[in-house]
Amino acid sequence: MGQFEIGCQCAGRPLSPGQSGCMPQAKRDKFPIFMYKYDSNGVRNTIPAGTVLNQTYITNKLNAANEANRWWIFPEIFGLEEPGAENETEDIDNVAYPTGEENKQPWSWFHGKKDYNPALKASYKSLECEEVMVMFITYSGQLSGLSDGNGGLTGIDIEGGSIFATPMRAVKGTTAKLMVQITEDSLVNPADYDHIEAESIAYSALNWFDLQPIELILTEISQSGQDTVVFRANYLYGNANFKKPYTGLVTADVSPDNGVTTGEVYNQTDQLNAAGTLSESGATPGLYTWTFAGFQDAGDVCQLDLFKEGISSRGLNFTIETS
């Protein structure tokens, strides 16, 4: 329950508006930051009062090994429409009486210019069925969200299954865009909207997106001998014949348990780790060969996961083929 929530709208006493003075206001939203509603300890994700928002803190959030603690900063948004909730009313003797219910209206924005790419839809799609919330970095470098009631800031809850992203192809007079729509959770109390001023943020929030890990897409190319798999590592963005390759991966970057064990792939069928080595092609950037230390049984399902600061990847799932 928010700090200004009242169980019954007609209970308690009226709140005095007081003397507002000259208070800073949250400016227009620029970058959305999505995060899970609850962290790995089952506690609501919150920036507690007194937190020093420096580069180390933000980098740790963006690279958190446990995704329940991680932040995802999306590219700059344009054309933000954030209509307020519509109060339902009933006309009695030509007077509109509130029924006590509100209809939440969807927010919408779009990505354009250099940030437009249909692949960005996949990033939004990955959040669609998750229990997530959102904060925003504003154009003036503030961080906006909801008050946690204890001097900290938390995210704005998103209605489950309400995140939609649709690529819009270019037509005469317009550029290509990715259109996005989300709906605020019906339990969010707008009276709890709050923000952190830019002056209280040690590392400018306008630079946070540049700390965002690179998302890699791993694609299997071939297998041989039941001990070798060849794959490509490309950036998320790109065209059919122009995917930017990621170079420089080494054996130590392959880990089934977020860096605790390195140089091993998880064999899901045997439920065991299998050691091996990773080598990069000298002729084709971003082309890698994983070679197991021993042969794997045909039909075994294996997963190659990467763990390296500055990159993020869902990993490569493949089935061992008969040699």
Token readout for 195 is: 């923000």
CA pair distance 140, 27, nearest whole angstrom: 7
pLDDT of residue 86: 80
Task: Please report the domains of the chain, with CATH numbers, ordered by start residue.
Answer: 29-211 (no CATH), 214-319 (2.60.40)
CA dist list (Å): 77 to 2, 24, 117, 172, 279: 28, 23, 13, 22, 39
Name the percent of the chain in helix, strand, coil, to the closest 5.
Answer: 10, 40, 50
pLDDT of residue 19: 74
Q: What are the beta bridge partners of residue 96?
A: 91
pLDDT of residue 225: 95
What is the mean pLDDT of each successive set of 10 residues along the chain, which is 323 residues long?
A: 58 72 82 97 96 97 93 95 83 86 88 87 92 96 95 95 93 93 91 94 96 94 97 89 91 96 97 98 96 96 95 95 87
pLDDT of residue 159: 93
**Tokens 């994700």 belong to residue:** 45
CA pair distance 235, 213, nearest whole angstrom: 11
**Tokens 């489950």 belong to residue:** 160
What secondary structure does DSSP assign to 246-304, as a single string?
-----GGGB-SSTTSS-SEEEETTTTEEEEEEEEE-SSSTTEEEEEESS---TT-EEEE
∠ CA 16-17-20, nearest 5°, is: 140
pLDDT of residue 7: 53
CA pair distance 322, 299, nearest whole angstrom: 8
